[in-house]
Amino acid sequence: MSIDNKLLLQIKLAVAVAVADHEFSASEEKSIKEWFKGKIQNSSASQRNKLLKDLSNKISNLRELAKSGQLELELVFYEINKIDDRSFKYAALDLSIEVMVADSTIHPNEVKLIEEIIEELGLDQSTAKKYIRNQILNMDKPPKDIDIEGLLKINPSVSNKDSQKLIRREFDKWNSASTSTQTLKQRKHAQVMIDIISKVRERYV
């Protein structure tokens, strides 16, 4: 018994994102496994054990392939696009984002890869951004080392004035979340995000 091909495609993307920052953390691996457990919860106990064992092997192999640059993402994109199911594409993106934030950091390489996934699968940028914010809000630990510039697509071609505007709009969302979210943990995460964002802004004044 082996993992369903659709699930495997999602796992391949997730592992690629996890390895993008050159470090496949235990929390990233755990988030893939937790997600997978949810997907196989209706299988029998023995089937679940076999599938989980298969998953561990697959993750090990995929990690090595990704590290050595041999994980053919073009092929993964091709396979996902062939399925032509928008809901499934978003599910794949959602898992990749969940894995990206699992270690409470967002590395520039991870952002680049997420951007590539959005573009290759023809998904909506703002929907993806909402999902990233949502994941940050619900991280286990407070966010740290978040590549704000990457997430906001601030690069040398963007003027300081426009960069400030992008940063301010992001700040506004987190400032609101610092008083308007449901749990103390979420409000604390939002506070950390406004600290991170206000420090980034100083670079564009």
Partner 1 sequence: MASFIGIDLGTTYSVISYIDDTGRPKIIHNSDGENITASCVAFEGAEVSHTGDEARKMQGTDDSVAAKFKRDMGKKIKHTYNGKKYTPTQLSAEILKRLYFDAKNQIGEIEEAVITVPANFSNEARVETKKAAKLAGINVKHMIDEPTAAALHYAYEGDGALNGYYAVYDLGGGTFDISIVKINGFEVDVIATDGISELGGDDFDAELQKIIQKKFLKATGEELEEQDFTKAQAEDSKKSLSKRDIKPAINKILIPVTRAEFEDEISGLVAKAEMTCENVIELSKIKLDDIEAVFLVGGSTRVPIVQQSVKRIFKMNPTATSNVDEVVALGASIYAAHKADQSKLNVAQKKAINKVSVQDVTPAYYGCIVNAFDNEKKKEALIVSIVIEKNVKRPCSFTETYFTPQDNCPKIRIQITASNALVTDPDFVNTIVDDWLEPLPAGNRQGDPIEVTYSFDDDGIMHASFLDVKSGIKKEISVSDLDVDKDFIDID
From CA 151, how far away is CA 129, in angstroms rounded? 8
From CA 27, how far away is CA 199, in angstroms rounded? 27
Query: Does residue 159 bind partner 1 (CB under 8 A)?
Result: no
Nearer to partner 1, 19 or 192 (CB): 192
Structure tokens that stand for 133 in this block: 């914010």
Binding string, 96-115, against partner 1, x = CB under 8 A?
--------------------
Among residues 24, 35, 36, 171, which is the contact residue for partner 1, using CB under 8 A?
171
Query: Does residue 179 bind partner 1 (CB under 8 A)?
Result: yes
Binding segment for partner 1 (CB under 8 A), chosen from 8-16, 71-79, 112-120, 173-181, is 173-181
Q: Within 13 Å and on the Cβ side, how many CA atoms surround 202?
A: 5
Q: What is the DSSP letter of 146?
A: B
φ/ψ (deg, to 5) at 146? -95, 125
DSSP codes, 87-107: HHHHHHHHHHHHHHTTTS-B-
Q: Which of residues 51-90 bind partner 1 (CB under 8 A)?
A: 86-87, 90
Binding site for partner 1 (CB under 8 A): 86-87, 90, 123-124, 127, 130, 133-134, 137-138, 164, 167-168, 171-173, 175-182, 184, 186, 191, 194-195, 198-199, 201-202, 205
